[in-house]
Chains A and B, each alone.
Chain A
Amino acid sequence: MHISEGILSGPVLGTGMAVAAIGTAVGLKRLDYDHIARAGVLSAAFFVASLVHVPIGPANVHLLLNGLVGLFLGWGAFPVILTALILQAVLFQFGGITTLGVNTAAMAVPAVIVRYAFGPLIWKRPPVAQAAAFACGFGAVLLGAVLVGLALIFTGQEFLEVTGIIMAAHLPVMVIEGVITLFAVAFLKKVQPALLPGYCARPVDDTPEGKNEIDTP
């Protein structure tokens, strides 16, 4: 999902940059001291995730992990994804410098949406919670495919066709990311629930770590 240089028109690039800039500003504002280390870890994870190639399906696709980043950080996903994309563009030549804005928006907007759509549900009863965690990973890639399709619409390609191709190519990734997010949430609930959003809504348990409070952004 890295759009290369030289494909998109000026207005699309400009819109992407504007969205990315606003999102990054909001994200940085909300990224307080307590979330910095987490943001760094997630940025590193996002940075290397695109090297994990999924050899299923027709196209050449890789993991994104934007759902996971969004779930843990909300608006913080913008600066985290932007940082990782800059490094990927410079070091791996994935995507491009002019398309940074569009690529950031295409991956961070879904991250924020799934966070607010499904994030609160992960503290419900197991079937609902599991479905919500899966939907976080699955939905973020799905929405990302739609946004990339939207960005490419102005290049003269048919929106439904392009989006269909991108979605078909990313279907295995959606499922894999859904499962990864499902397990990550289940694991963190046991080990370090304070890392998950909306934790303070839970009754405090009596281990010293359990009393950690987390200000949700």
Chain B
Amino acid sequence: MRSTPLDLIRPRRLYFVLVAALLATAGWPTPCLAHRVTIFAWVDGDTVYTQSRFSGGRAAKNGDITVFDAGGKQLLTGKTDAAGEFSFKLPSRKGLRIVLNAGMGHRNEWVLSADDLDRTSGGGTAEKRPAGTRPAPPLIRVPASTALTREDIQSIVDESLDKRLKPMMKLIAELRNDSPSVSDILGGIGYIIGLVGLAAYIQNRKRR
């Protein structure tokens, strides 16, 4: 009797294969841990924050960060700290490409378009003022607030939004966990089973 591909599907062996598969699945400590590096960047005021991680949540320590402008000119370089974070002063508002190289062939990038930078910095006309120079507090007490200009209101709102949104941005960075889901894994195995079927079919036709 020759050994055939169907050997694996005979009842007794199928049982073994299933048990082995179940054990293997149960043995996965955390199926989300894997080998891929991601970088996420956001702007807060005039500082760009980046967070670099391997999928699964481990920080990418000591990774090389290179920042390019929209034209591809290198603006600055740096290294991520122990938490995988790196921040720098916004060098230009015309779009940035932040490239992370975590060594051993792991690389990823994050693009901040001119649009992103514009919006987060409060628009082109309303330049953000340093916190100390805002003349708002005495003016707020004036009942007819004719002195409170559009720009003032915008800068106040921007500042307070920045403060409120900072933890949110951090939270989004934390939640950006795009490691493989169970459906990805099962989908991949399904593809392989399908390919096996296809290959067996083709081979079988050839043999006739």
Interface residues of A (CB under 8 A from B): 1-7, 31-41, 43-44, 47-48, 50-53, 55, 59-62, 83-84, 87-88, 91-94, 148, 151-152, 162, 165-166, 169, 191, 194, 208-209, 211-214
- B165 at the A interface (CB under 8 A): no
Q: Which of A32, A33, A212 contacts B1 (CB 8 A)?
A: A212
Most buried by B among A51, A52, A83, A84: A51
Residues of A within 8 A of B207 (CB): 33
Sorted from nearest, which 7 A-B pairs have the closest CB atoms? A40-B196, A37-B5, A53-B33, A3-B105, A212-B3, A87-B188, A33-B203
Tell me whether B5 and A38 are in contact (CB under 8 A): yes
7 additional contacts (CB under 8 A) given A34-B2, A53-B56: A6-B107, A36-B200, A37-B5, A40-B192, A51-B31, A60-B56, A208-B1
Note all chain A residues with C-beta closer than 8 A to B185: 47-48, 51, 91
A53 B189 Cβ-Cβ under 8 A: no
Which residues from chain B sit less than 8 Å from chain A, CB to CB? 1-9, 16-17, 24, 28-37, 54-56, 58, 101, 103-109, 178-180, 184-185, 187-189, 191-193, 195-196, 199-200, 203-204, 207
C-alpha spacing A214/B103, complex, angstroms: 43
Say whether, besides A47-B192, A60-B58, A34 and B5 are in contact (CB < 8 Å): yes
With both beta carbons as reference points, the residue of chain A lying nearest to B204 in the complex is identified as: A33
Give, as a whole number of angstroms, the nearest-CB distance from A202 to chain B: 14
Please tell me which one of the listed residues B28, B56, B184, B200 contacts residue A33 in the complex, with CB atoms under 8 A apart.
B200
- Contact between A211 and B1, CB atoms less than 8 A apart: yes
Which chain B residues border A51 with CB–CB below 8 Å?
28, 31-34, 180, 185
Please name the residue on chain B nearest to A93 by beta carbon: B36
Contact yes or no, B196 A37, CB < 8 A: yes
**Residue among A43, A88, A165 making CB contact with B103, cutoff 8 Å:** A165
Interface of B is mostly: mixed
Given A92-B36, A92-B184, A212-B2, answer yes or no on A36-B196 (Cβ-Cβ < 8 Å). Answer: yes
In the assembled complex, the Cα of A166 lies from the Cα of B104 at a distance in Å of 6
Q: B30 — which chain A residues lie within 8 A by C-beta?
A: 53
Assess whether A4 is in contact with B107, with CB atoms less than 8 Å apart: yes
Across the interface, which residues of A come within 8 angstroms of B204, CB to CB?
A: 33
Within 8 Å CB of B109, what residues of A?
6
- Contact (A59, B104) CB under 8 Å given A34-B5, A40-B196: yes
Q: Is the CB of B192 within 8 A of A93?
A: no
Q: Contact at A213–B2, with CB atoms within 8 Å?
A: yes
Docked complex Cα distance between A7 and B193 (Å): 33
Q: Say whether A34 contacts B36, CB under 8 Å.
A: no
User: Are B105's CB and A7's CB within 8 A?
Assistant: yes
With a CB–CB cut-off of 8 A, which chain A residues contact B34? 50-51, 53, 62, 92, 94
A33–B188 contact, CB under 8 A? Answer: no
Cα distance A84–B185 in the bound complex, in angstroms = 11
In the complex, A94→B184 CA distance in Å? 12
Q: Are the CB atoms of B6 and A40 closer together than 8 Å?
A: no
Tell me the bound Cα distance from A52 to B30 in angstroms: 8
